[in-house]
Copies of this chain bind each other. A is one copy, B any other.
Amino acid sequence: MAEKAILLIMDGLGDLPAPVKTPLEAAKKPNMDALAKKGMQGMMSTLGRGVVPGSDTAHLQILGYALDRYYCGRGPLEALGAGMQLREGDVAFRANFATIEGNMITDRRAGRLDNASAKLLEKDANARIQDVEVIFRASTEHRGALVLRGPGLSPQVSPTDSHREGAFTPAKPLDASDGARKTAEIVNEFTRMVHARLEGSDVNKRRMRDGKKPANIILLRGAGIMGKAPKFSEMHGIRGACVAGGALYKGVARYAGMDVPDVKGATGDAGTDLKAKGLAALEALQKNDFVFVHVKATDSFSHDGNAKGKTQFIEKVDKELIPALAGNGAALFITGDHSTACVRKAHTGCEVPVLAYYAGGRKDGLKKFGESSAMHGGLGHIEGKDVMLIILNMIGKGKMCGS
């Protein structure tokens, strides 16, 4: 009987038929289909029927962290994922290097700034403003995280990143508290300061000379205040690790106190080294009862409306990752955090297919892993909150309620 379990989340896995088959159905994936023949499928509405999940909320819920108690906003999770140490009460943001001309944001990603340049610019975004320490860390490309540390801060401030190009809007307090007012002031002072510093930087002078967009402002969104969550091992009674490339997913795992090994080649994009992730998962399984493996590109292709790319990436996962995960005796739970429809280029509230297999477990007689099968699967319709309980039961480590 399986004593350990692997949860594979292909981000944004579920999709709509386009026009006949979804990418998961269109993909040639003999390894996943072999698991489908031996196990059970079902459909998951991560946060409840019809609700459109974000990646942050979806992952927290799936790992057993109820949102009403433990959701602290995206910022702290991004900051943790970028390797920053957070303290309770820190207010953190997801940050983007961007390009501003006059008052207009002309590129929210500063031409997808390269990592090397971002690292050179990092120091310009660290400062002390009033009694608040401002800590910035660049992560991948134009992305980064910003942490405000000081007394009396609040996450109740509007984002300076409005998710689209156009006129820049300063942060505003979202409630009447002193903390919200103070935090908005700090954010706006930071924005002015970093803009002035970046404008004069050598990196940007060189980029302008080369005809590239300058990374001359940092935009913020996803404000959240760092809270305290019980460790995964306390919550579930098993040791857990996470193998992921994307910062957010590592951040969720760190927030849950899981082991998050650095995996060379795990990039969180389509070029990620899936074989390296498989090996890392097997290694993590030595010291842990549970490994959460995350791949991101299924979601990224969906946001780009690229169903073919999504299909091919699922085929790559099937070929390069599944054999390692399925060949070691561990129970396997394969799903997505939510559906992302290529035709909409957006997350949807459609259920996401689930495939569960462990040696000696029940079978539902279905032959192929996909939305059209899973909606008739033996697991029926589950929610994100059920996932860890089902996994614990698969490996015989569920706590009995009663006697």
- Residues in chain A within 8 A of chain B (CB atoms): 1, 16-19, 40, 43, 47-58, 67, 71, 74, 94, 221-222, 343-344, 346-350, 360-365, 371-372, 375-376, 378-383, 386, 388-393, 396, 398-403
Rounded to whole Å, the gap between the CB of A327 and the closest CB of chain B is 20
A362 to B352, CA, bound (A): 12
Report B-chain residues with C-beta under 8 Å of the C-beta of A19: 360
Which B-chain residue is minimally distant from A52 (CB atoms)?
B398
**Is B360 touching A401 in the complex (CB atoms < 8 A)?**
no
A47 to B16, CA, bound (A): 29
- Contacts A1-B343, A362-B372, A376-B376 aside, 4 further interface pairs with beta carbons under 8 A come to A48-B386, A51-B389, A349-B393, A372-B378
A28 to B348, CA, bound (A): 35
Rounded to whole Å, the gap between the CB of A307 and the closest CB of chain B is 12
> Of B48, B348, B365, B380, which one neighbours A372 at CB under 8 angstroms?
B365
**Is B57 touching A360 in the complex (CB atoms < 8 A)?**
no
Q: Assuming the A-B contacts A50-B390, A390-B50, are A396 and B346 also in contact, with contact meaning beta carbons closer than 8 angstroms in the complex?
A: yes
A354 to B57, CA, bound (A): 29
**Is A344 touching B398 in the complex (CB atoms < 8 A)?**
no
Report B-chain residues with C-beta under 8 Å of the C-beta of A396: 344, 346, 348
**Is B392 touching A349 in the complex (CB atoms < 8 A)?**
yes
Report B-chain residues with C-beta under 8 Å of the C-beta of A383: 49
**Is A400 touching B54 in the complex (CB atoms < 8 A)?**
yes
Report B-chain residues with C-beta under 8 Å of the C-beta of A50: 386, 388-393, 398
